[in-house]
């Protein structure tokens, strides 16, 4: 179940001003509302993701490769922007659908088919699909998965390049989520690595190239993250030497955090400077595979206010949408940032409830009290018919939602397409492409 969206401590957050929403996004959303269209969906600006990829690429050392975790945002337009010149080297995938979509984007861009795969429960059908799409490295997470890969490779008369995903005993870096350093379904526990290496080396059809270490999500401490990467390099070199692995591959995961709540963002310059002082073993490719950090800023989720009502001293702003379209805020421990866009049109003769300068709970249209996107957010004014807009919705937005519950119309997904190249981050007078 989702955790209710809560505020930190007892202080109430304040809604962002309408100007915090970029002008072209505001125009598009207000145009939809003025045309009488139901508003519950996303607006993506792929140029923002492309700019983030170029910035991270510039900060990474020359020995690093950059991949994008498709689970964060699977929009073909966003993937295509990330795959453009100066962007990512390829994509990390966790399903057959992601693999096919990513492969199509790379083919259309004329880029090499560089796909990496991870995930704790890869079925035989998924493993076969990964091989069908030419996945370059499959990160195996259990002895059974190694055996299944070997059987598929033998049946096909091919060799599969494998990296062992490892769950370390302990992890010094922290974040919003932890996948390593404790009991989780992810990877092979560190004490079991020697046995897993022995099994992988004994099975036909497998080329054990190295390791995958992805421990946390949402870390904004640049120095700590660089230190973690240094630990990964040292651990992989020591373990490979001790177990006889011909080390050529190391995936250090993603985990770069985004500041949704106004706290200090990741210091990209500090991260780059700290990574520049590290040296991987000769002949080893080191892959970074962020998702959220590259895509969060390229999306906005917007929903029409259907009603404003009070109950026992609390004020509720009820949206057309909610966690059926945007579930991420319900997983965070702080109020997700939001802005209110006033919409002037309103049907004649109907009352128009509103709230002014009070803390509100922003909830959706589902029949569950868990359908809450924000609590204790002070808004200057919000009325039925206005739009509530959440920035930072480009990662784990639509892909993380619950669209089937109650069967309401699914969220729209629109893409800003510039008429001509223009400096990032905003493009004036964009054309809009509907990718629903």
In-domain check, residue 384: yes
Q: Which domain holds residue 232?
A: 114-290
Judge if 149 and 282 occupy the same domain: yes
Average pLDDT over residues 80-103: 97
Q: What is the pLDDT of residues 176-197, one digit of tens each?
A: 444 445 567 889 999 999 999 9
Residue 421 has what pLDDT? 37
pLDDT at 265 over 50: yes
Residue 232 lies in a domain: yes
Give Cα separations from 19 to 26, 32, 166 (angstroms): 9, 18, 45
Q: pLDDT, tens digit, for every residue of 33-85?
A: 999 999 999 999 999 999 999 999 999 999 999 999 999 999 999 999 999 99
225 and 174 housed in the same domain: yes
Please indicate, yes or no, whether residues 214 and 303 belong to a single structural domain of this protein: no
Check whether residue 396 and residue 261 sit in a common domain: no
State residue 171's pLDDT score. 67
Are 238 and 303 in a shared domain?
no
Q: What is the CATH number of the domain that holds 358?
A: 2.40.37.10
340 exposure class (CB count in 10 Å sphere: 0-12, 13-18, 19+): buried
Q: Go through 21-60 and write b for each residue having 16 or more CB atoms within 10 A of its CB, e for each that does not.
A: bbebbbebbbebbeeeeebbbbbbbbbbbbbbbbbbbebb
Residue 11: its pLDDT value, please?
63
- pLDDT at position 174 is 52
Indicate the DSSP class of residue 431: E
Report the C-alpha gap between 148 and 127 in whole angstroms: 8
* Residue 407, pLDDT score: 84
| Residue range 126-154: mean pLDDT, rounded | 98
Residues 207 and 314 in one domain: no
Confirm whether 343 is domain-assigned: yes
Residues 121 and 250 in one domain: yes
Number of domains in the chain: 2
Return the axis-axis angle of helices 143-156 and 193-202, rounded to nearest 10°. Answer: 10
Residue 247 sits in the same domain as residue 366: no
Residue 316 lies in a domain: yes
Cα–Cα distance between 157 and 136 in angstroms, integer?
A: 16
Of 411, 420, 425, 414, the residue nearest 44 (C-alpha): 414
Sequence-distant (6+) residues with CB within 8 A of 172 are 224, 227, 228, 231
pLDDT on residue 12: 79
User: From residue 49, how far is each of 31, 116, 284, 292, 335 by CA, in Å?
Assistant: 24, 20, 28, 10, 24
Q: How far is CA 281 from CA 47, 167, 196, 358, in A?
A: 35, 21, 22, 58
Residue 185 lies in a domain: yes
Task: Say if residue 306 is in the same domain as residue 395.
Answer: yes
Distances (CA, A) of 33 to 27, 302, 327, 430: 10, 11, 23, 18
Q: What is the pLDDT of residues 218-255, one digit of tens each?
A: 789 999 999 999 999 999 999 999 999 999 999 999 98
**Helix residue ranges per DSSP H, 163-305:** 193-202, 222-243, 268-276, 292-295
At residue 263, the pLDDT reads 82
CB-CB contact of 280 with 63 (8 Å): yes
Any domain includes 303: yes
Q: Is the pLDDT of residue 432 over 90?
A: no
- H-only helix segments in 284-417: 292-295
Residues 127, 183 within the same domain? yes
Q: How would residue 169 be classed by pLDDT, with cut points 50, 70 and 90?
A: confident
In the predicted model, is pLDDT for residue 430 greater than 80? no
Q: In the predicted model, what is the mean pLDDT of residues 1-10?
A: 47
Q: What is the CATH number of the domain that holds 192?
A: 3.20.20.10
- Number of helices (H) and strands (E), helices first, in the chain? 10, 21
Residue 419 confidence (pLDDT)? 52
| Residue where the block lists tokens 């591959």 | 249
Distance in angstroms (rounded) separating the CA atoms of residues 223 and 276: 12
The fraction of the chain above a pLDDT of 90, given in percent, is 80
Q: Domain boundary residue among 290, 313, 331?
A: 290
Mean of the per-residue pLDDT values of the chain: 90
Q: Do residues 23 and 426 touch, judged by C-beta distance below 8 A?
A: yes
pLDDT: is 180 or 353 the higher one? 353
Which pLDDT score, from 0 to 100, does residue 172 have?
A: 64
Report whether pLDDT(3) > 80.
no
Does the global pTM surpass 0.85?
Answer: yes
The residue among 290, 316, 332 that closes a domain is: 290
Q: How many CA atoms lie within 13 A of 62 on its CB side?
A: 2
| β-strands 387-391, 372-383 pairing | unpaired
pLDDT at position 233: 96
Task: Establish if 89 belongs to a structural domain.
Answer: no
Tokens standing for residue 42: 């996303």
Q: Which of 217, 232, 298, 367 is catalytic?
A: 367
Q: How high is the pLDDT of residue 383?
A: 98
Verify that 224 and 352 share a domain, yes or no: no
Provide mean pLDDT across the span 318-328. Answer: 94
Residue 199's pLDDT band (cuts 50, 70, 90): very high
**Residues of the chain with pLDDT > 70: what percent?**
90
Domain's final residue, options 266, 290, 314: 290
**Do 307 and 259 sit in the same domain of this protein?**
no
Mark whether 217 is an active-site residue. Answer: no
């Amino acid at each position: 179940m989702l955790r209710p969206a809560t505020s930190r401590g007892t202080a109430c957050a304040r809604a962002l001003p309408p100007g915090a929403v970029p002008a072209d996004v505001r125009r598009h959303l207000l145009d939809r509302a003025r045309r009488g269209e139901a508003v519950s969906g996303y607006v993506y600006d792929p140029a923002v993701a492309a700019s983030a990829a170029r910035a991270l690429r510039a900060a990474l050392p020359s020995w690093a490769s950059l991949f994008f975790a498709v689970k964060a945002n699977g929009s073909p337009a966003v993937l295509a922007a990330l795959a453009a010149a100066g962007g990512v080297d390829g994509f990390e995938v966790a399903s057959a659908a992601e693999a096919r979509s990513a492969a199509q984007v790379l083919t259309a861009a004329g880029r090499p088919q560089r796909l990496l795969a991870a995930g704790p429960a890869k079925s035989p059908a998924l493993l076969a699909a990964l091989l069908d799409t030419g996945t370059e490295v499959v990160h195996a997470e259990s002895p059974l998965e190694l055996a299944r890969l070997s059987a598929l490779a033998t049946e096909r008369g091919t060799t599969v390049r494998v990296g062992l995903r490892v769950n370390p005993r302990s992890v010094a870096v922290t974040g919003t989520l932890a996948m390593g350093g404790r009991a989780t379904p992810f990877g092979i526990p560190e004490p079991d690595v020697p046995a897993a290496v022995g099994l992988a080396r004994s099975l036909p059809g497998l080329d054990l190239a190295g390791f995958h270490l992805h421990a946390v999500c949402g870390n904004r401490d640049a120095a700590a993250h660089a230190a973690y990467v240094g630990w990964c390099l040292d651990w992989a070199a020591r373990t490979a030497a001790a177990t006889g692995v011909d080390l050529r591959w190391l995936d250090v995961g993603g985990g770069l955090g985004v500041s949704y709540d106004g706290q200090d963002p990741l210091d990209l310059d500090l991260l780059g400077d700290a990574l520049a002082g590290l040296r991987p073993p000769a002949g080893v490719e080191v892959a970074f595979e962020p998702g959220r950090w590259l895509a969060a800023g390229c999306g906005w989720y917007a929903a029409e206010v259907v009603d404003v009502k009070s109950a026992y001293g609390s004020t509720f702003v009820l949206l057309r949408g909610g966690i059926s379209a945007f579930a991420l805020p319900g997983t965070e421990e702080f109020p997700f940032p939001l802005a209110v866009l006033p919409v002037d049109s309103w049907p004649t003769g109907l009352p128009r409830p509103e709230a002014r300068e009070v803390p509100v709970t922003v909830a959706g249209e589902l029949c569950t009290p868990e359908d809450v996107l924000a609590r204790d957010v002070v808004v200057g004014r919000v009325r039925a018919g206005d739009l509530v807009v959440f920035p930072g919705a480009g990662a784990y937005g639509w892909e993380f939602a619950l669209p089937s519950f109650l069967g309401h119309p699914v969220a729209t997904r629109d893409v800003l397409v510039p008429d001509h190249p223009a400096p990032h981050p905003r493009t004036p007078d964009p054309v809009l492409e509907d990718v629903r």
